[in-house]
A = this chain, B = another copy of it.
Amino acid sequence: MNVLIVYAHPEPESLNGSLKNFSVKRLEKAGHVVQVSDLYAMKWKPTLDADDFPDSNPGARFDPALDSKRAFENGTQPGDIASEQEKLLWADAVILQFPLWWFSVPAILKGWVERVYAYGFGYGVGEHSDVRWGDRYGEGTMAGKRAMLVVTAGGWESHYGPRGVNGPIDDILFPIQHGILYYPGFSVLPPFVIYRAGKTDEARYAKICDALGRRLDDLWNTAPIPFRPQNAGAYAIPELTLRPDIAPGQSGFAAHVA
């Protein structure tokens, strides 16, 4: 199978860098083909702006969605964006690996999403009608592919527990797992999270590699998070609210997991 690792850490000699190298080896040893988008090493341009669309009419108002749509349709996208889209289409599974900075992905990875997820590719896919609202949340360009987060965090596991001060890790990751991965169609596997990343000695590193290695071995048979598909009946359209008989009385992120 083909695996794309999108990796965002500025220091190759970091825990993240070591784990990325470990993952590549482990996957290749199992016979998979691996590509790595090492965003810092690539000096990835993080900002979505008019410079990405030199074919716009001079003086025209820049519209992030419409300019992206035109460039995607006409094949006039910048090469770095088109190349990442190719990798995504090539991949059977995608791993996003990053340190949790301020409760989300590093800016450089956020900018990868904003630029690579063009209109017509990452969103704006499929028809809007009275029975469906675009190919998204379970359908879309990435349907049939798997995705998984590998995340390091400085805080303790309890700080990210159900009643921990930072909020539960599943809720912190929901805008990424549901909003960025499930949205264009990925099946999203449970995340692999390393807490107290700054406190990793050799013994603990070996244990982390063991556990991560098992997750990589099981990439093709781990059950995805059962997010509810948008167009399969659970949601009223166009309101896109859960129908009364689905998760009755529940609200919040967890109601979108079956």
Contact = CB atoms under 8 A, between A and B. Distances in A.
Interface of A: 10-11, 13-14, 40, 46-50, 61-65, 99, 101-108, 110-111, 113-114, 117, 137, 154-156, 158-159, 161-168, 171-172, 174-175, 178-180, 198, 230, 235, 238-242, 247, 250-256
Contact of A179 (B63, B103, B111, B238): B103
A167 B257 CA distance: 11
Given A46-B107, A167-B256, A251 B61 contact: no
A230 B165 contact: yes
* Interface residues of chain A: helix, strand, loop or mixed (majority): loop
B256 A165 contact: yes
A63 B10 CA distance: 9
Contacts of A167: 174-175, 178-179, 252-253, 256
A78 B210 CA distance: 40
Given A10-B47, A40-B49, A137-B165, 10 more contacts: A11-B62, A11-B64, A13-B61, A46-B46, A46-B47, A48-B106, A158-B240, A164-B240, A171-B174, A171-B253
Contact of A163 (B163, B230, B251): B251
B156 A103 contact: no
A179 B102 contact: yes
A6 B107 CA distance: 16
A180 B103 contact: yes
